[in-house]
Structure 1
Amino acid sequence: MLRSLVLATAFLGSLIIPATAQSPLRSECLAMANAPPRAVPVSLRRTAAKVEEVAITYVGHSTYYIDTPAGVRIGTDFNGYYQTGRLPDVVTMNRAHSTHFTLFPDPKIKHVLHGWGDKGQPALVGLRVEDVYIRNVTTDIRRYYGDGAGGEMIRDGNSIFIFEVAGLCIGHLGHLHHKLDDSHFAAIGRLDIVMVPIDGTFTMSLDGVSEITKRLRASVVLPMHRFATPLDEFMRLIGKQFEIDQRTERTLKISRETLPTTPTVIILDGV
């Protein structure tokens, strides 16, 4: 019995890809953010190619499913409870609460990416799966009472995950607990779509997350962790330069060519 348990544990462990084991690859989003302006916009150079759409579905809390043109499904801040449709091929996790991770993911999930590292080392993710490149930028996270002394910060305990697919740069801020400095913004690079926690308490203040949202200048803002704060307060803080688009469906289908020309907060159905 004991031997069977050990073997089962080893098997499950082999399915979890430690973030620190990844080797960073070239980021197109960073390259575009750091490149000098070109005379011909990227969107015009792609007009002859087939338009590739990405489907983004709000599953709940901080979990979005991202479906790529090649059929890869990604689940963000995945805990196993918030699910819809088929199982993701890739899941990302952060260690804030059990609503943002699971230590027992379905073994059929091919890639399990932790936003925290082991033995005091930061997570380092640089993974290509079919048509999507996934990387991370680490931030600190508060230590909760169930995880030792409450309020203490754990260095590099959270990851902002960035998904580069179909010419889009999609960022998920995770369970963000502090303001970002210039080095964070430089490492993130350009984002076309950003998923932002707007609870104002469990993550960070609305003032703080609003400043981050404005500086990122993404075309699309997708709120998450949105159970505690009135949306109109978030909209007031980020300013009039953002439009609001409230949807009755859970899924947004979008491509590089259909990004809104004015920064837009899109509210998908769900809680």
Structure 2
Amino acid sequence: MSAVRFLVLLLILLSPQAASRAQAMASDCLAMAQAPGFVPVQYSAPTLAADEVQLTFLGHSTFLIESAGGVKIATDYSGYAGGIVPDVATMNHAHRSHYTDFPDPAIKQVLRGWNPEGGPARHDLTVGDVRIRNVTTDIRAMGGAVPDGNSIFIFEVAGLCIGHLGHLHHELSNAQLAAIGRLDIVLVPVDGTYTMAQANMLNVLKELKARLVLPMHYFTPETLQRFINGLSGELDVEISGKASVTVSARTLPEKPKLLVLPGY
């Protein structure tokens, strides 16, 4: 995200009355869903303590998750991972902006959130100091629902449980919640249309009870603002000036927080 766009976003979040002046601004989400929308950056590996993990928002629904052991994971990988080749790429097939049929062959593990042969995708593996597993959910499609078409990927690293909800289209069942278990950090789509209504997504967050929530997959600053307005004080809100955040169990907020990271 350019500095100008981020300042506009910050202005809107701080002053809803300014929203009308940003109606004509191009969608960050739509721009980032296309290859030219991604802006390559100079990558620099983070220095992390053993109990820390770094998350970098690359735009749309792609985060780069980096462990102290040097494992690099790109979520909802569609061909771009911040200018680096990740060790692991997770993907979901609700839209082309969430997966690619041609991942870089240098990626060691490509984990699809759906099973091309039918039935649920099943992943449970350890890569370096990260355990990665998934819980499948259904997605909408022309003609009805597609069972197990999306995966919630869960990354267990540095004593934390990080969940990426992918392209979640429905609230979670008790069985799914039990399979997910505890989540300390949730990466949540808040568009309110292509996934599901914001009120329903808020219900999901209430069920998951994570202490740090990172929004993704929103189409305009106004959409993000509506989601924030719907929190009704249940979560603190912080607007970060950096695309990356380093987290450990000891630095998790005491009260659940929504942390907005600017994308590149």
TM-score in terms of structure 2 length: 0.79
Paired residues of 1:51 and 1:257 also in contact (CA < 8 A): no
- Could you tell me how far 1:83 is from its partner in structure 2? 2.8
2:98 match: secondary structure: coil
CA distance in 2 between counterparts of 1:77 and 1:213 reads 20
Matched, 1:180 2:172: yes
Letter paired with 1:270:
G
CA distance in 2 between counterparts of 1:181 and 1:138 reads 11
1:231 match: secondary structure: helix
2:86 match: secondary structure: coil
CA RMSD of aligned residues (A): 1.3
Q: Which has the larger radius of gyration?
A: 1
After superposition, give the CA deviation of every residue in 1:83-125 in whole Å (9 maximum; x if it has no partner): 3142110000000111000010000000000000133220000
Percent identity, please. 52
Aligned equivalent of 1:130, options 116, 128, 131: 128
1:222 corresponds in structure 2 to 214
CA distance in 1 between counterparts of 2:82 and 2:172 reads 32
CA distance in 2 between counterparts of 1:211 and 1:234 reads 12
Aligned equivalent of 2:232, options 236, 239, 242: 239
Runs of 4+ in 1 over 6 A off after TM superposition: none
Letter paired with 1:183:
A
1:208 match: secondary structure: helix
Paired residues of 1:213 and 1:238 also in contact (CA < 8 A): no
After superposition, give the CA deviation of every residue in 1:60-102 in whole Å (9 maximum; x if it has no partner): 100000000100000000001x431421100000001110000
2:95 corresponds in structure 1 to 97
CA distance in 1 between counterparts of 2:225 and 2:206 reads 16
1:197 corresponds in structure 2 to 189
- Could you tell me how far 1:238 is from its partner in structure 2? 2.9
Question: Which runs of 5 or more residues in structure 1 are unaligned?
Answer: 1-49, 144-149
- Could you tell me how far 1:203 is from its partner in structure 2? 0.7
Paired residues of 2:191 and 2:224 also in contact (CA < 8 A): no
